[in-house]
Amino acid sequence: MNRLFCFLSLLLVYNNGFSRQIAVEGQPLPAWKEGYLDLHHINTGNGDAACYIFPDGTSMLLDAGENVDPNDKRAGIKFSAIRPDNSRRAYEWIAYYIQQVHPRGRNATLDYALITHFDGDHFGAWYPTAPKSPDGQFSLSGIMGVGALLPIGTMLDRGYPGYSFPRDMYLAAQKAKDSGYRKTLESYRGFLNYGKARGMTVAPFKAGSKTQISLRQPEKFPGFYVQNIKVNGKIWTGRDSSVIEHFTQYNAADPKTWPDENSLSAVLAIHYGPFVYYTGGDCAGNLSYGDPASKDVETPVAKVVGEVDVAVMDHHGNRDAVNEFQVKALKPRVWIGQTWSADHPGHEVLIRMTTPYLYSEPRDIFSTNMLEANRIVIGPLIDRSYKSQQGHILVRVLPGGETYYVIILDDSKKDMPVKAVFGPYQSKKK
């Protein structure tokens, strides 16, 4: 009995010590180590941004939103206030965050950057007070600002090189009355030229590929890969790299058949041993009156993805996303909401994510921001459902992918101390 007690005591000490190496509340985040998969969801209060550090140190930025002028009076009411404060713009805070968590620190570079689709809260919107780039060819906002501060190796998006699906984006923007979006696209084109002149490669995101985004040292971590699932209307079949076309009724001459920008979002899944992570931009799955059936892209995507451990809510958990089929198919242990507006999440979306009638397994839900307006309208379900409602969200997957933690970092402070630690979680396919 005494020997058993000593063994259990030593095991408890060991486990507590190991957990403390993962993160300790109130302390700085322990640095990434080789073998970790770190999935950072950066909260600027101004749109989506996620930075991934793969097991060999390869780095990737997924989206870099900057949707609201920091002087917009709606910030803090309808929209989240900029985090941690307005002493810097959103793109500067994204770059700053990356430098804090990147293995190379202040000398951080990004091996990859992917823009899921062309909405300002995902790639950066032009606004009158945005500063100009060093060469004067583009405005510093979103990915354009981050890319001016941190070198990017390969830039991926859904439209390169022609930007012609479902119609010529640049020509349409020139004809449109919305001069802000026209200026945003012109700024993005100027940024691509700026980056290419400095060695950046630009390429279209390829649905079906599991090699386009790869490790620098793939032989060290054979269980790791990034599976490209969808972009535009092309959806992976689940076999080799073949895809099917979802928008079969598309007619370039008929605007009524054009899919909207959200439905064109790039989707990917990150695999590390048994661990699976899903993120799908602003894909939609719930139809409104008059919508074509093809607007539901979540259902065919969920069919090929299957169960995952961690899922980022499509479209920030908005009412047109996270449909019933997706919830039943993905069954994530962890839901992450990258939210910045008073309509994130939709009340009915939260009900679908929390009900045991769609899947009975436990699930934890985390949000980067929860506005008071949501808490007032939705009510007690918010507090009952969320493990954390405010802060940067890091999913840290341990070597091999069998175990992971969710770590909340304080987004009100520049040094981003650990706010809370959840886990360990065990990957489903262990």
Largest CA distance in the chain: 81
Residue 3 sits at φ, ψ, to 5 deg, of -65, -40
**Residue 79 confidence (pLDDT):** 84
Q: What is the percent of the chain with per-residue pLDDT over 70, rounded to a whole number?
A: 93
**Quick count: other Cβ atoms within 10 Å of Cβ 46?**
33
Mean pLDDT of 258-284: 97
Query: pLDDT tens digits for 336-370?
Result: 999 999 889 999 999 999 999 999 999 999 999 99
314 or 72: which leads in pLDDT: 314
Query: pLDDT tens digits for 165-222?
Result: 998 888 888 777 668 889 999 999 999 999 999 999 999 999 999 999 999 999 999 9
Pairing of strands 364-367, 334-337: parallel
Instruction: Identify the H or E element spanning 142.
Output: helix 142-149
**Residue 78 confidence (pLDDT):** 77
pLDDT band at 75 (very low <50, low <70, confident <90, very high): low
pLDDT band at 74 (very low <50, low <70, confident <90, very high): low
Residue 14 pLDDT > 60? no
Question: Residue 290: which region, alpha, beta or left (left: phi > 0; alpha: psi -120 to 50)?
Answer: left
**Residue 144 confidence (pLDDT):** 98
**Residue 76 confidence (pLDDT):** 60
pLDDT band at 10 (very low <50, low <70, confident <90, very high): very low
Lowest mean pLDDT among 70-74, 213-217, 382-386: 70-74
Distance between CA atoms of 101 and 286, rounded to whole angstroms?
A: 36
Question: 3-class DSSP state for residue 398?
Answer: coil
Instruction: Identify the H or E element spanning 229.
Output: strand 224-231
Lowest mean pLDDT among 106-110, 166-170, 267-271, 317-321: 166-170
Residue 72 pLDDT > 70? no
Q: Order of strands across the sheet with 392-397?
A: 201-204, 152-157, 110-114, 59-64, 49-53, 37-41, 392-397, 403-409, 418-426
Residues composing the chain? 430
173 or 135: which leads in pLDDT: 135
Distance between CA atoms of 271 and 226, rounded to whole angstroms?
A: 6
Query: pLDDT tens digits for 16-67?
Result: 444 557 999 999 999 999 999 999 999 999 999 999 999 999 999 999 999 8
Q: How far, CA to CA in Å, does 64 sit from each of 12, 119, 121, 172?
A: 41, 10, 7, 23
Q: What is the pTM of this model?
A: 0.94
Question: Residue 304: which region, alpha, beta or left (left: phi > 0; alpha: psi -120 to 50)?
Answer: alpha
* Bridge partner list, 156: 114, 203
CA nearest neighbour of 340 among 38, 95, 40, 42: 42
**Residue 305 confidence (pLDDT):** 98
Residue 37 sits at φ, ψ, to 5 deg, of -110, 110
The mean of the pLDDT values for the chain is 92
